[in-house]
Amino acid sequence: MQTIREALRERRLLVSDGAWGTMLMAAGLTPDICAEFWNIENPDAVRNVGAKYIAAGSDLITTNSFGGSRFKLDDYDKADRVRELNRAAAHISREAAGANHFVIGSMGPTGKMLLMEDVTEQELYDAFRAQAEALLEGGVNACCIETMSAIDEGTLAVRAAKDSGAETICTFTFNHLPDGTYRTMMGVSPEEMAAAVVDAGADLIGANCSLGPEAMVEIVAAMHAAVPDVPIIVHPNAGIPSFVEGETRYPETPKSFAAQVPALVRAGASIIGGCCGTTPAHIREIAAVVNNSRGEAKAITS
Amino acid sequence: MNDLIERLAICLERGKVNRSSPHPPDLKDQDGADELTRQALDDGISAETVLADGLIVGMTRVGKKYSEGKAFVPDLLMAAKAMKAAMAHLKPYFESGQTHHRGTFVIGTVEGDLHDIGKNLVAMMLEGGGYKVIDLGVNVPAAKFVQTVQENPGCSVGLSALLTTTMVNMEKIIKAIHEVSPATPILVGGAPLTDDFARRINATAYAPDPQGALDYLSAATS
């Protein structure tokens, strides 16, 4: 199968998937359950999420392995099951995706901070390396390091995934500051992130979570200006959630979200999907707009 | 003396822990919170003054910068580290009763939620602000909060949650605490929370950031 960058050279734009966490919760996952353990205990529910996204038009789907590093699994006393749970995650998404769609292995932050001497660089690298290798064994096309906020942890994860032989995607999560700029909670700007993770070897970069699609436009533009040759992937939330009558509501409907896809494409995004609050219905609308936007997309030449 | 106290405030604001600490680069090879606190106490400055006019002033400055988006999580963490180094010297004065805490603050991440970074930042800021902090950790059930409140009359409580799915657990915890202790102030905070949500679940106040929690308690208890 081609690499994701090769596919972008041909097709210019690709559609990623939407949220998994909120979809799994709708299927009964509660926060006290280890989500990755569902890859063993409830694989049908996990596969169903991926299958719905493929049916909605995703060219790429992620895996249920966001918290699959040994540090996160340790919260549930499952630190010794990294290989098993990540392999299963990859295998399930591959089943849902078939041979002709991409599976990108989700790798989230460990929750440990090098700055506070919670862990050493070697420990972080080893943890990401073990996760990336298990995802590759399970059949992913690429690793997707996501929701990062610290340069040191993000770049270690990129190096680990690259050293495992994976095409590597890295997305950070940014907040909108009172002065109008965007930075991660660790103080990293989109430009700083782009330069650092590309230097570490990332093949694709981007942003996910925290913000809705409109706010992502500026972030994409900033990254595109910093590293013009690197394809950009965005997974915005369905806006900022509010809590109404006992339930969490995300403001962006499939239509309102998709209406912002052309602006994301003009800013330089090559792959568009969603994060928290997005559903297969969002992806269906995004896919429709993407198919009409290829003419405006930047060419990927390398 | 004033110079020493101001330098201490700067060490907190900039996260300068001790002389050998490489951070921040422009204060390399200078004394940090560790050495300056020792010097201040040796010079006869009271522990109270060191805390109130040096450490808390610096902590407040970095907290304000954080609220304004001009400082970030690493700045708060380094400030907390500097505070910890300073507090090691002040501890004997607190323990001997010469200096008093401003109050007791019980904090935890609510049931179902395992995220601790936000909760830890608030705990550090409050500790830095002169409060005795009882950190109950993550995934804390209502009963544990209730028991701790009963064991610490006059305390305030902070509830943290990172997920939209766990912040809803705050409501029953608040109800349980207020059933046994209606006057206990309960602050809530965490990424998905809003002022509006805090009001709906009958929290005493919403703290948008660590400094917000400190500001609220300072105003409420002064």
> What is the pLDDT, as a whole number, of residue A302?
67
User: How many Cβ atoms are within 10 Å of A22's Cβ, its own excluded?
Assistant: 22
Q: Is the dihedral of CA B131, B136, B142, B144 positive or negative?
A: negative
The alpha carbon of residue A13 is apart from the nearest alpha carbon of chain B, in Å, by 32
Domains of chain B: 2-95 (1.10.1240.10), 104-221 (3.40.50.280)
Chain B contacts of A183, Cβ < 8 Å?
69, 72
pLDDT at B165: 80
Q: Chain A residue with minimal CA distance to B162?
A: A31
Q: Does A30 touch chain B (CB under 8 A)?
A: yes
pLDDT band for A242, please (50, 70, 90 cuts). confident
User: What are phi and psi for residue B199, nearest 5 degrees?
Assistant: -65, -45
The rounded percent of chain A whose pLDDT value lies above 70 is 99
Between CA B137 and CA B141 the distance in angstroms is 10
Q: What is the pLDDT of residue B188?
A: 97
| Position A301 confidence tier, pLDDT thresholds 50, 70, 90 | confident
The rounded distance, in Å, linking the Cα atoms of A85 and A131 is 9
B residues 126-155 closer than 8 Å to A (CB): 139
Locate A69 and state its tokens.
């590093």
Residue A178 structure tokens: 């009172």
**Element holding B145 (H helix, E strand):** helix B142-151
Q: Using alpha carbons, select from B1, B16, B13, B95 the residue that is nearest to residue B49.
A: B1
DSSP for A48-88 reads HHHHHHHHHT-SEE--S-TT-SHHHHGGGT-GGGHHHHHHH
C-alpha separations of B205 from A247, B166, B220 in Å: 21, 18, 11
What helix, strand, coil percent values describe chain B, rounded to 5? 55, 10, 35
Q: Which amino acid is at B97?
A: G
Residue of B nearest to A28 (CA): B165
Most B CBs within 10 Å, among A24, A174, A185, A249, to test the B interface: A185
Coil, helix or strand at residue A101: coil
User: What is the model's pLDDT at position B95?
Assistant: 79
Flag whether pLDDT at A291 surpasses 70.
yes
- Residue A300 has a pLDDT of 75
- Give CA separation, B213 vs B67, B133, B207, B220, in Å: 11, 13, 5, 11
Please give, rounded to a whole number of angstroms, the shortest distance from the CA of B2 to a CA of chain A: 31
Cβ-nearest to B74 among A175, A179, A186: A186
Helical H segments across chain A, by residue range: 4-11, 21-26, 38-41, 43-56, 70-73, 82-97, 121-137, 151-163, 190-199, 213-226, 254-258, 261-267, 280-293
**Residue B200 contacts A, CB cutoff 8 Å:** yes
Least confident of A118-122, A216-220, B28-32, B114-118: B114-118
Residues A61-76 have pLDDT tens digits of 999 999 999 999 999 9
Distance in angstroms (rounded) separating the CA atoms of residues B128 and B67: 16
List chain B residues with pLDDT less than 70.
1, 222
Range name among A176-190, A272-286, B89-103, B121-135 with the lowest pLDDT average: B89-103
Yes or no, beta carbons of B113 and A25 under 8 Å apart: no
Helix (H, G, I), strand (E, B) or coil at A191: helix
Would an 8 Å CB–CB cutoff place A242 in contact with chain B? yes
Contacts of A135 (CB under 8 A, 6+ apart): A63, A65, A68, A86, A87, A89, A90, A105, A107, A143, A166
The kind and range of the H/E element at B45 are none
First-to-last alpha carbon distance for chain A, in angstroms, is 17
To the nearest whole Å, the CA of A76 is away from the closest chain B CA by: 10
Residue identified by tokens 């995300």 is A250
Task: State both tokens at A144.
Answer: 């997707």
How many beta carbons lie within 10 A of that of residue A76, not counting itself?
16
Write out chain B residues lying below 8 Å of A177, CB-based: 69
Ordered domains of chain A (ranges, CATH): 4-296 (3.20.20.330)
Q: What residues contact residue B170 under an 8 Å CB cut-off, 6+ apart?
A: B110, B159, B161, B188, B201, B203
Q: Which pair of tokens denotes residue B98?
A: 């010469």
Judging by DSSP bridges, how do beta strands B132-135 and B104-109 pair with one another?
parallel
**pLDDT reading at A299 higher than 80:** no
B-contacting residues in A 272-291 (Cβ below 8 Å):
276
What is the model's pTM?
0.91
Query: Is residue A213's pLDDT more than 60?
Result: yes
Alpha-carbon torsion angle A113, A114, A120, A125, nearest 10: 80
> Under an 8 A CB cutoff, do A31 and B77 touch?
no
Instruction: Return the pLDDT at B222.
Output: 60
Instruction: Give pLDDT, residue A153.
Output: 97
CA A81 to CA B24: how far, in whole Å?
A: 39
Q: From CA A154, how far away is CA A186, in angstroms rounded?
A: 12
Structure ipTM: 0.84
Q: What pLDDT is stored for residue A22 in this prediction?
A: 84
